Structures are given as structure tokens and as C-alpha cells.
């Protein structure tokens, strides 16, 4: 190990100790981009608007076109986002039905 200024992390794929900064950069590169219906890149905390009316399964409610959803969270699936909306817990929306505001 070269110098004591950098933390090292064991990389199970290669069986080597690598700098933590290098491992973090490699992990970020593997994360797929999440895009909305218009092709804009989405990130955690963005606000989105619905582009069509959506019936919510498990709730007797329809979210209307143009409804704004604030503070989205990205999931492991690049085609889905996790969000909250008044009265609906655990709402997951497909990215094909939203556009970034």
C-alpha cells in the first residue's frame, strides 16, 4: 500500500486492495442513468409532472395529467422512481409517464 493518506477497500472481484476513491468512481460509473419520457436525466430530489392520467392500484384514486410529484427517489430499476403523494404511501411510478420540471 502506497501512502497512508488514502483509505483502501478490498475489491472482491479482483481480490486486490484498491483506493476507496477509485472504488467509488467505479461504482458510480456502473449506475445506469434514469431518464424521463422526454429524455431528461433524473436525480434524487427532482420534481416531476405526470404526462397522462394514471389509476393508482390499491387506492381509489386517479392521478391527473400535470400533477407535480416532488422529491423523487431513484430505485435500483432505472425504469421506476419511488415517490410520495398525499394519501398514497409507497407510490412507485414508471419513468415513461413523467417529465422533469
Mean pLDDT throughout 17-41?
86
What is the band of 4 on the pLDDT scale with cuts at 50, 70, 90? Answer: low
Please state which of the ranges 1-15, 28-42, 72-86 shows the lowest mean pLDDT: 1-15
For 29, 34, 42, 50, the CA distances from 46, given in Å and listed in that order, are 21, 12, 7, 13
Above pLDDT 70, what percent of the chain?
Answer: 92
pLDDT at 1: 45
pLDDT cut 90: percent of the chain above it: 58
Numbers of helices and strands, H then E, in the chain: 1, 10
> What mean pLDDT is predicted for residues 24-35?
79
- Choose which CATH entry (3.40.50.10780, 2.60.40.1180, 1.10.1660.10, 2.30.30.40) describes domain 48-100: 2.30.30.40
> Which tops the pLDDT comparison, 9 or 30?
9
Sorted by where each begins, the domain ranges of the chain are 1-31, 48-100
Is residue 89 a contact partner of residue 83, using CB atoms and an 8 Å limit? Answer: no
Amino acid at each position: 500500500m502506497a501512502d497512508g493518506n488514502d483509505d483502501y477497500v478490498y475489491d472482491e472481484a479482483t481480490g486486490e486492495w484498491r483506493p476507496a476513491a477509485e472504488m467509488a468512481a467505479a461504482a458510480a460509473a456502473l449506475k445506469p442513468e434514469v431518464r424521463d419520457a422526454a429524455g431528461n436525466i433524473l436525480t434524487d430530489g427532482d420534481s416531476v409532472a405526470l404526462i397522462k392520467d394514471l389509476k393508482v392500484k390499491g387506492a381509489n384514486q386517479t392521478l391527473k395529467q400535470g400533477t407535480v410529484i416532488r422529491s423523487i427517489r431513484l430505485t435500483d430499476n432505472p425504469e421506476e422512481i419511488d415517490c410520495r403523494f398525499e394519501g398514497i404511501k409507497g407510490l412507485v411510478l414508471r419513468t415513461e409517464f413523467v417529465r422533469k420540471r
